[in-house]
Structure 1
Amino acid sequence: MPNALAERVIDLPVDLARRLDVARALVRPVRSGAISRVIGLRFDVNGLDLPIGATVRVVDGSVELSGEVVAVGDGSVTCMPFGEVKGLRVGARVEGVDRPPSIGVGPQLLGRVIDAMGRPLDDLGPIVGLSEVGLDADAPHPMRRARIESALSLGIRSWDTLIPAGRGQRVGIFAGSGVGKSTLLGMIARNTEADVNVVALIGERGREVREFVEADLGPEGLARSVLIIATSEPPALVRLRAAFASTRIAEWFRDQGNDVMLMMDSLTRFCMAQREIGLSAGEPPTSRGYPPSVFSMLPKLLERAGAAEVGSITGLYTVLVDGD
């Protein structure tokens, strides 16, 4: 009897702790605030203590909208939306999302066309069995990067002969609008000896997407490619996210030991998207109206490509020439 009583006394705190853990998981504290101003492409929220880069969600009966914190102030944060600000009102409740931005990765992505959030755009049904990984990742350690010692054939004889690309190299394709950059990328995707292609179309006109998939890329190129699409009409935050999502997907395939060809069209429109975000957040304009954050954002994106200890990412980035 005393032993049974002792066991019950010992077991009670353990059981109580387990119940408390379950209760905390079911009833998590939610940080929330209220919209104080909507101006241009941004909305300000009072009473919400969140860091830059945190995800927020507008909780209002008439609007379903998520966004990201791009600036913080004394007692308020400035957010940019992933959708339209139409319908937002002062006083609407905004909650912080208790998880970092993520993207689904896995071999199931091959042959699929997705948006910046990882949602399929090709009417082939949902993509199941993906693993969620954080959108942000560090560039390979500089002392653990593999040296670029071998060429990676792009499948274009003139390019491979005159200016061969190294495995893990980053190459800029500088040209004006309408001169054939997308056609060139489609040729490379079909003929390169890389194991996987990750193609990001950022800020492109909507009509060009289907042309690229069906005419430039074709079934042969699509079969070993992942396409991430963010056309010109979504908010700047979506276009910016598409660039980092495509890079994160390429990193996952690289970590599996693949040689990945990452093609981004275009890097200029990525910078334009960050310019919209920076100016809306109150940054001062500098050269050609670009805020300082653009020049720090570029190396954060580009340095994540390259040759790592296992696998490589060869980056092809198109750049619109001056005046376009």
Structure 2
Amino acid sequence: MFAGVGERTREGNDFYHEMTDSNVLDKVSLVYGQMNEPPGNRLRVALTGLTMAEKFRDEGRDVLLFVDNIYRYTLAGTEVSALLGRMPSAVGYQPTLAEEMGVLQERITSTKTGSITSVQAVYVPADDLTDPSPATTFAHVGCNRGTEP
């Protein structure tokens, strides 16, 4: 299961063709909310991907859920919050950041019938691990905080 939050059209198209060329498209579900779409659409993509993963898990499958990029999920939430007239909290993020991240992350779980394992790309603004977005994400996930050169 792949949830592309705020992906560029080109990246989504390239990924689709890679899955097709690898003959695995019949085993993969792709959900995209492109970066040019309204923030409400982008905010729902990670949750939609997770809902689909839960359905597959409940059918007895072991699911690998990729979310690219969880930071863009947070940014979409920030934009929606601003549109709703909410007063921003730390560093301009939505005041509901911890709640929204918790709702998403806590649903990624195993049951007696199947499992969901998640791999999430996390952008760290200015390499600041104390920024509320990655800090809130890392509070919910076991992760390797490796960096790309």
What TM-score do you get using the length of structure 2 for normalisation?
0.79
Paired residue total? 127
- 1:244 CA drift (Å): 1.1
Shift of 1:210: 1.0
* Greater relative CO, 1 or 2 (CA 8 Å, sep 6+): 2
1:260 offset after TM fit, Å? 0.4
The amino acid of 1:265's aligned partner reads D
Offset at residue 256 of structure 1 (A): 0.8
User: Over alpha carbons, which structure has the higher Rg?
Assistant: 1
Cα shift at 1:269: 0.3
Query: Unpaired segments of 5 or more residues in structure 2?
Result: 128-149
Corresponding residue of 2:39 = 236
Q: Does the C-alpha gap of structure 1 residues 218 and 201 become closer, same or farther in structure 2, counting only changes over 3 Å?
A: farther
Partner SS state of residue 7, structure 2 = coil
Task: Find the residue that maps to 1:306 and give its secondary structure.
Answer: coil
Do residues 298 (structure 1) and 137 (structure 2) align?
Answer: no
Aligned-partner Cα distance in 1 for 2:98–2:59: 31
Q: Structure 1 or 2: larger helix share?
A: 2
> 1:205 maps to what in 2?
8
Whether 1:223 aligns to 2:26 is: yes
Q: Distance in 2 between matches of 1:246 and 1:225?
A: 11
Structure 1's unaligned 5+ residue stretches are: 1-197
Helix, strand or coil at the partner of 1:307? coil
**Structure 1 residue 294 displacement after superposition:** 1.8
**CA–CA separation in structure 1 for the residues paired with 2:105 and 2:71:** 13
Aligned counterpart in structure 2 of residue 288 of structure 1, from 91, 101, 123? 91
Matches within 5 A, 1:122-161: none
> Structure 2: which amino acid aligns with 1:211?
D
Aligned residue in 2 for 1:269: 72
Q: Residue 278 of structure 1 aligns with which residue?
A: 81
Distance 1:199 1:310 in 2: 21
Alignment of 1:106-117 (within 5 A): none
Question: What percentage of aligned pairs have identical amino acids?
Answer: 33
Cα RMSD of the aligned pairs, angstroms, is 1.6
Aligned-partner residue type, residue 11 of structure 2: E
Q: 1:235 is matched by which residue type in structure 2?
A: P
Instruction: Provide Cα deviations, 1:177-221, integer angstroms capped at 9, x if missing partner.
Output: xxxxxxxxxxxxxxxxxxxxx101110111111111213674423
Aligned-partner SS, 2:112: coil
Q: Which amino acid aligns with 1:226?
A: S
